[in-house]
Amino acid sequence: MSTGMSISESDWSLHRKGPKDQARHQEKVREAIKGQLGEIIANESIITSDGSKIVKVPVRSLEEYTFRYDPFKKSGVGQGPGGSQPGDVIGQAPGQQPGKGRQAGNQPGIDYYETEFTIDELAEMIFADLSLPNLKEKGQQQVIAEKVRFNDVRPVGILPNLDKKRSLLQAMKRQAMSRSRAAPVEVGDDAEEVEVEPGLRIRKDDLRYRTWNVTHEMQHNAVVIAMRDVSGSMGEFEKYITRAFYFWMVRFLRTKYSSVRIVFITHHTEAREVDEETFFSLGESGGTRVSSAYQLCAEIMEQRYPADRWNIYPFHFSDGDNWGDDDNARCVTLVRHIIERCNLFGYGEIKEEVYSRWSTSSLMSALSEINEPEFVGITIKSKEDVYPALRKFFAAPTLPV
């Protein structure tokens, strides 16, 4: 060729790296999200939402860190449509939230990776390896959960479920068996046979459809008794943590154990059983007598959920600021009584760090004398502790039976 140019077309597919490196990038995105679950779980807007919301999760660890200028302190050069004057506004900076660092934006130099999740997707990630600990086979009245599985193939069905591969195989089989590739049939709109490839004709009765079976999954009787301190000493933070924990707990139970029963109890000086909505709406005021809740819990267990037929999981969240040592002692006795009959008793005490060193006679210090493995106590100091608390309660290793 007389020119200094040449051209060719060859197959580069063997040299490809993009998809592999892209997959690794996505894997890192997922890792990053998992690392941030603690923060995500404590996110106010998720917990106060109706549950159908899509959450935007900013993923930070995928930034490529370098020594660079602060993108907000840097000036730059831009271009306008003509006649720009000093002071003309050309863009909005993303708002800053105190203490939270810069939020995602589309300004130059900010390398944010934001992924969208539904709450269910998040819940799936959060609950992936959580379970009701120490679940035992109990009672005859086992609850049945229905599950739908696509695991069958039939010659009738609806078109969206057409199994193309099996249909073609069936057509081949039929032709091979008949050994008669005789005269081709006219192919038309209402022809019985359609030629999909030279020599291969497909008939209506070759078609195969994927279909489902309903399977029944046995589940054990289980009840979770959720107790919540609504006394006056519970501040905004304590209330928030309690709600956050129970929000995810209820979601977790409903996702994984469709048949589990949940009993809601609130208490100040007196305890009462409430419905779910009341339980989650904000609290009342007054003093605190935790033993009232434990008493009610024990009564409910006795009357409705006998231990020989039910797996029982009581949880209680409080700031630990109880009426007095008398009542703490009563609580210890009651908890000892309850753990003989339940699978796990979870107690979460919420203490913002500032106060913790002042409080000497918290419920936690009273309960800490209980050494049985069925009792799990956790202190929560910040929003980020909600996720570890969930993990500690629901990923606990199976207890010795």
Partner 1 sequence: MATAQVDTHPEKTMEEVWEVARGFGLDPFPTHFEVVPATMVYEFGAYGIPGRFSHWTHGKAYYQMKTMYDYGLSKIYELVINANPSQAFLLDTNDALENKMVMAHVLGHTDFFKNNLHFAPTNRRMPESVSVNADRIARYEFEHGTLAVERFLDAALSLKEHIALHPDNELPATSPSIRPDAEESAPSPYLDVLRMGELAVEDEEPERAAKVPAVPEHDILAFLIAHTRDLEDWQRDILAVVREEMLYFLPQMRTKIINEGWASLWHYRIMEALDLPAAEYAAFSRMHAGVVSPGARMRLNPYYLGFKVLEDIERRWDNPTAEEREKLGRQPGGGRAKLFDVRETESDQSLLRKYLTEQLVRDLDLYTYQLVDDEWQVAETDWRVVRDSLVAGMDNFGLPVIVVEDGDYRHNRELYLAHRYEGVELDVRYAEKTLQYLFQIWNRSVHLETVIEDRKVRFSFDGRRNSKTVI
Q: Is 92 in the site for partner 1 (CB under 8 A)?
A: yes
Q: Is residue 7 a contact point for partner 1 (CB under 8 A)?
A: yes
Cα–Cα distance, 195 to 187 (Å, whole number): 7
Q: By rule CB under 8 A, what string of x and - marks binding of each residue 102-131 to partner 1?
A: -----xx-----------------------
Question: Does the footprint of partner 1 cover residue 98 (CB under 8 A)?
Answer: no
Q: With contacts defined by CB under 8 A, how many residues of the chain interact with partner 1?
A: 59
Of the candidate residues 14, 45, 90, 137, the single one contacting partner 1 (CB under 8 A)? 90
CA 107, CA 91: separation in Å to the nearest integer?
8
Inter-residue contact 208 to 167 (CB < 8 Å): yes
Compare residues 70 and 353 and give the one whose CB is closer to partner 1. 70
Phi-psi bin for 320: left (phi > 0), alpha (psi -120 to 50), beta?
left
Nearest distance, CB of residue 19 and partner 1, angstroms = 8
Q: Which is nearer to partner 1, 63 or 152 (CB)?
A: 63
Per the rule left: phi > 0, alpha: psi between -120 and 50, beta: everything else, 199 is: left
| Nearest residue to 311 (alpha-carbon basis) of 266, 275, 262, 271 | 262
Is the sign of the CA dihedral 250, 253, 258, 259 positive or negative? negative
Nearest CA to 320 out of 225, 223, 241 is that of 241
> At a CB cut-off of 8 Å and minimum separation 6, what does 33 contact?
40, 57, 59, 115, 125
Rg (CA), the chain: 31
How far apart CA 231 and CA 130 sit, in angstroms, is 30
Q: Measured from the CB of residue 11, what is the shortest distance to partner 1 in angstroms? A: 9
If DSSP codes are grouped into helix, strand and coil, which group holds residue 142? Answer: coil
Of the pair 94, 283, the CB lying nearest partner 1 is at: 94
Considering the rule CB under 8 A, would residue 20 count as an interface residue with partner 1? yes
Between CA 48 and CA 54 the distance in angstroms is 13
Q: Does 74 bind partner 1 (CB under 8 A)?
A: yes
Quickly list DSSP for 15-60. Answer: G--HHHHHHHHHHHHHHHHHHTHHHHHT-HHHHTS-S--EEEEEE-
- In whole angstroms, the minimum distance from the beta carbon of 46 to partner 1 comes to 25
83 binds partner 1 (CB under 8 A): yes
Among 50, 70, 189, 190, contact with partner 1 (rule: CB under 8 A): 70
66 binds partner 1 (CB under 8 A): yes
Rank residues 91 and 397 by Cβ distance to partner 1 and give the closer one: 91
Residue with Cβ nearer partner 1 (17 or 165) = 17
Which tokens sit at 278? 């009341």
Tell me the window of 5-13, 154-162, 199-207, 242-250 that interacts with partner 1 (CB under 8 A).
Answer: 5-13
Q: Across-strand partners of 193?
A: 203
Q: Angle, nearest 10°, between helix axes 119-127 and 236-256? A: 80
Stretch that binds partner 1, among 32-40, 73-81, 118-126, 322-330 (CB under 8 A): 73-81
Helix, strand or coil for residue 331?
helix
- CB-wise, 12 or 358, nearer to partner 1? 12
Rounded distance between C-alpha atoms, residue 326 and residue 332, angstroms: 10
Task: Kindly tell me which of 101 and 400 has the beta carbon lying closer to partner 1.
Answer: 101
Establish if 303 lies at the interface with partner 1 (CB under 8 A).
no
**What is the nearest approach in angstroms of partner 1 to the Cβ of residue 104?**
14
| 6 in contact with partner 1 (CB under 8 A) | yes
Does position 31 interact with partner 1 (CB under 8 A)? The reply is no
Looking at 45, 52, 79, 371, which residue binds partner 1 (CB under 8 A)?
Answer: 79
Of the pair 94, 157, the CB lying nearest partner 1 is at 94
CB closer to partner 1, 75 vs 178: 75
User: Is residue 173 a contact residue for partner 1 (CB under 8 A)?
Assistant: no
Q: To the nearest whole angstrom, how small is the minimum distance from the Cβ of residue 73 to partner 1?
A: 5
Q: Which residues bind partner 1 (CB under 8 A)?
A: 1-10, 12, 15-18, 20-26, 28, 62-93, 95, 101, 107-108
